[in-house]
Amino acid sequence: MPSPAVEQLLSELHASLKLRKRPEDVAQLIQDLYAAQGTHLDPATEAALTKATEHSLRRLWHGYTSMLEGFARPVGAQRQLARAASLFTSVPDLPDGAGDDPEQIEAVIRRAGEEIRRAYGHNDFGRDRLDRAERAEAGLGEISKRQYNKRFRLLCRMEAKMSRLIHEQRRREVTITGKGALAHTLPYELFAADPDTAAFVAYVTARSYMRSIFTNGKQRQVYDEVADALFRRLQAHPEQTRWYAIAHVHPTAEVLERLSDEGLTQLLAHWTRFLREVAELLEDAWGRCPLERDTMIVRRGNDSSTWNQAAQAWNTARAHWLALLTELGRVEVLDRICPGKVPRLMAADVAYWHRMSGGGLHPDTYVWAELPLPWEALRGEKECPRSLVEAACARHGVDPVAGAWTAPRPAAKAVAFRRTPELVHGVAVADPLMASALRSAGIFSGKGKRAAAQEWL
């Protein structure tokens, strides 16, 4: 049994899988974990962790970051439930957290609806309300028209709120999965069964959760020298490593070959379901305002936030799906259906920046524009076999294998560790205190808070 100190550190590392801690701070927890265990680290791991923890909040003089250490949560229906409890006698006292649970919200709506003889889903204010005679016949004669209308409107708003909450919770799940794959779904027992596994999964997940930087170049790679050192510890003791847990975040051929067929099939089934869910989100965003496929530059009316979150989730799921199909020896599936990658929408100023610096549209954009849309391919409405993808890649000078259009992503090479910058709307700022001031002033937000900005400059 691990000591209480080790157990506490493992719990903090597991909690970080659903948070957005800086990699430096996760590395600090890992270093503390090995120290609490009395583990003798090899020189490479010791040097890598020391390099990362030099910039942890514990070691910085201010001990502060201006960036949220969690993913934004949708606003629940707590206020609406409290109002319902004051208007309906049938609504009981609800436990904390009920406002974030759509099932409990629906139960309240149905129970309260029975009190005024309103059927669930009947929200038409002109057609579905009871008139005076109908209210009297239903035994509601003591409730005035005004009070009845107030209750009816509240329940209509609560149904609309519940629908928005479900959508936003789904978007949050998609965002987290797009960033960190399935790390946040790992049960504690599997995660904590091997400390080296826990250390690698927690650190790679923290790296995956890093925010994008406003740049016309490549974003930072996830797999750095710290992750590589931690992975080498797993390779040194393969019999102790929980490879199934590693595959949730790092589906390389070396990892997947150590899984059983049952474990591979379970992961493949999960990612297949997830691809279908994300395809629905993409279709919904497309249906509200079709995108300019040839450029993927944001236009007025485009829901760029939903699209970009779903696109990242799609590409993450697709990469895992291809890797699992390959390991299971079922690549013939791609001869029938090989849905393409989905590019993110690009802001017009970033696109202009690319052009001015001698760049242009990524070749993948041209390939994407020629292929069936993801939801059309998954539903079989349009054929999208591997041959079609290869032909589109050939026309635009893209290697379908190296470009991960018809094969898993190539194994990443470790990059040098660099400290996490403080970001203000994607722009790197050296000091977190200055970052807080700039964010409050509206700098880099594009919302024209000039008066506030002048006070800070």
Confidence band for 447, pLDDT divided at 50, 70 and 90: low
Residues 257 and 357 in one domain: yes
Total domains in the chain come to 3
Domain-embedded: residue 343: yes
Closest by alpha carbon to 338, among 403, 389, 293, 296? 389
Strand partners, 70: 19
Residues 445 and 381 in one domain: no
Domain-embedded: residue 149: yes
Residues 274 and 369 in one domain: yes
Closest by alpha carbon to 27, among 213, 229, 316, 315? 229
Region 325-353: mean pLDDT is 90
Residues 430 and 389 in one domain: no
pLDDT for the residue 27: 97
Residue 71 has pLDDT above 60, yes or no: yes
Domain-embedded: residue 155: yes
Residue 64 has pLDDT above 90, yes or no: no
Residues 426 and 379 in one domain: no
Residues 357 and 434 in one domain: no
Residues 279 and 370 in one domain: yes
Closest by alpha carbon to 324, among 370, 268, 278, 376? 268
pLDDT tens column, 288-336: 888 999 999 988 888 888 999 999 999 999 999 999 999 999 999 999 9
Decide which of 345, 378, 395 is a domain's last residue: 395
Residue 111 has pLDDT above 50, yes or no: yes
Neighbours of 42 (CB within 10 A): 12
Domain-embedded: residue 407: no
- Measure the CA–CA gap between 436 and 422, rounded to whole angstroms: 9
Residues 362 and 438 in one domain: no
pLDDT tens column, 166-198: 999 999 999 999 999 999 999 999 999 999 999
Residues 147 and 257 in one domain: no
Domain-embedded: residue 369: yes
- Measure the CA–CA gap between 400 and 320, rounded to whole angstroms: 16
Angle between helix axes 4-15 and 23-37 (nearest 10 degrees) is 160
Decide which of 113, 136, 170 is a domain's last residue: 170
Give the rounded distance of the alpha carbon of 311 from its chain centre: 10
Instruction: Name residues whose C-beta falls within 8 Å of residue 60's C-beta, 6 or more positions apart in sequence.
Output: none
Domain-embedded: residue 64: no
pLDDT tens column, 34-63: 999 999 999 999 999 999 999 999 988 778
pLDDT tens column, 83-94: 999 999 988 888
Decide which of 137, 170, 203 is a domain's last residue: 170
Closest by alpha carbon to 14, among 179, 241, 193? 193
Confidence band for 216, pLDDT divided at 50, 70 and 90: low
Neighbours of 393 (CB within 10 A): 24
Residues 339 and 434 in one domain: no
- Measure the CA–CA gap between 31 and 219, rounded to whole angstroms: 27
Lookup result for tokens 């997830």: 274
pLDDT tens column, 134-157: 999 999 988 999 999 999 999 999
- Measure the CA–CA gap between 339 and 351, rounded to whole angstroms: 26
Residues 89 and 139 in one domain: yes
Domain-embedded: residue 307: yes
Range of the domain at 281: 251-395
Domain-embedded: residue 85: yes
Q: Which of 310-324, 350-364, 390-404 has the least mean pLDDT? A: 350-364
Of 8 and 427, more confident? 8
3-state secondary structure string, the chain? CCCHHHHHHHHHHHHHHHECCCHHHHHHHHHHHHHHHCCCCCHHHHHHHHHHHCCCCCCCCCCCCCCCCECCCCCCCHHHHHHHHHHCCCCCCCCCCHHHCHHHHHHHHHHHHHHCCCCCCCCCCCCCCCCHHHHHHCCCCCCCHHHHHHHHHHHHHHHHHHHHHHHHHHHHHHHHHHHHCCHHHCCHHHHHCCHHHHHHHHHHHHHHCCCCCCCCCCCCCCCEHHHHHHHHHHHHCCCCCCHHHHHCCCCCHHHHCCCCHHHHHHHHHHHHHHHHHHHHHHHHHHHHCCCCCCCCECCCCCCHHHHHHHHHHHHHHHHHHHHHHHHCCCHHHHHCECCCCCCCCECHHHHHHHHHCCCCCCHHHHHHHHCCCHHHHHCCCCCECHHHHHHHHHHCCCCCCCCCCCCCCCCCCCECCCCCCEEECCEEECCHHHHHHHHHHCCCCCCCCHHHHHHHC
Residue 260 has pLDDT above 50, yes or no: yes
Residue 457 has pLDDT above 70, yes or no: no
Neighbours of 152 (CB within 10 A): 19
**Percent above pLDDT 90 for the chain:** 74
What global pTM score does this model have?
Answer: 0.90
Residues 386 and 444 in one domain: no
